[in-house]
Amino acid sequence: MTKTTKKVANDNKNKKIQIINDNTNPDESKDGFDIGDFLVYPTHGVGEVTDVETSIVAGTEVTLYVLNFTKEKMTLRVPVKRAHAVGLRRLSNKKQVDKALTTLKGKPRTGRGMWSRRATEYGQKINSGDIESIAQVVRDLHKNVDDPDRSYSERVIYESAFDRLAGELAAINNIEPQKAEELLVKTLGKKAA
């Protein structure tokens, strides 16, 4: 269903008002993402497109996706033209989810080298937004989930990856995040922190 809106332009020569019909649907974006779509923003996780708005920034008209991240109580505006450059993507498909779940069932990679270097690598994997990379972090750090002597930074990285993975699984399967967390714990075979 298209909606006709009126735009008024003032022609200085004739002092005439010009009416332009715009037959675009305001609920559809130019990049294929629609209002109501759940998308993954690499550094924040899953958000819902609540609006596509136009703003004037430094004298230039910019079309923006408005993303709402409910759990974080955050709203983010992403320029439509920069959406792919910042890594904004649709939720993973079944094949990608299956691959991530298979990764979770695999043998954890033994951490070698300095923790700071591994922590940086884990952070990059989480912020890549790639579901399989995030699953690798969860798998590798889950082995120490019951260890009371686990470092604070390791616990924070693990929880961040676990929450991102659970958030995407919840959105994909249209279930509550708690159910997605239970699915992950069952797949991992141990109690999560």
State the pLDDT at residue 20: 27
Q: Are 7 and 19 in contact (CB under 8 A)?
A: yes
Q: What percent of the chain has pLDDT over 70?
A: 82
Highest-confidence range of 24-33, 36-45, 146-155, by mean pLDDT? 36-45
Contacts of 145 by beta carbon, 8 Å cutoff, 6+ apart: 158, 190, 191, 192, 193
Express each pLDDT in 11-38 by its tens digit.
Answer: 333 322 222 223 333 433 344 788 999 9
pTM for this one? 0.74
- Average pLDDT score over the chain: 80
Pair type for strands 74-79 and 60-69: antiparallel
**What is the CATH T-level fold of the domain 94-188, as seen in this structure?**
Methane Monooxygenase Hydroxylase; Chain G, domain 1 (1.20.58)
DSSP H helices, the chain, are 94-105, 115-128, 131-142, 152-173, 177-188
Q: What per-residue confidence (pLDDT) applies to 115?
A: 87
pLDDT of residue 8: 32
Alpha helices in 10-130 (DSSP H): 94-105, 115-128
pLDDT tens across 102-116, in order?
999 988 887 778 888
Chain Cα centroid distance, residue 139: 20
Q: What is the mean pLDDT of residues 131-142?
A: 93
Query: DSSP assignment, residue 70?
Result: T
Fold of 26-90: Thrombin, subunit H (2.40.10)
82 versus 1: the higher-pLDDT residue is: 82
Name which of 100, 152, 151, 106 is nearest 125 in CA terms: 100
Burial class (CB in 10 A: 0-12, 13-18, 19+), 55: exposed
Q: How confident is the model at residue 100 (pLDDT cuts 50, 70, 90)?
A: very high
pLDDT of residue 134: 95
Work out the average pLDDT over 56-76. Answer: 89
Identical fold for domains 26-90 and 94-188, yes or no, is no
Residue 190: the pLDDT is 55
**Would you kindly state where each structural domain of the chain is located, as residue ranges?**
26-90, 94-188
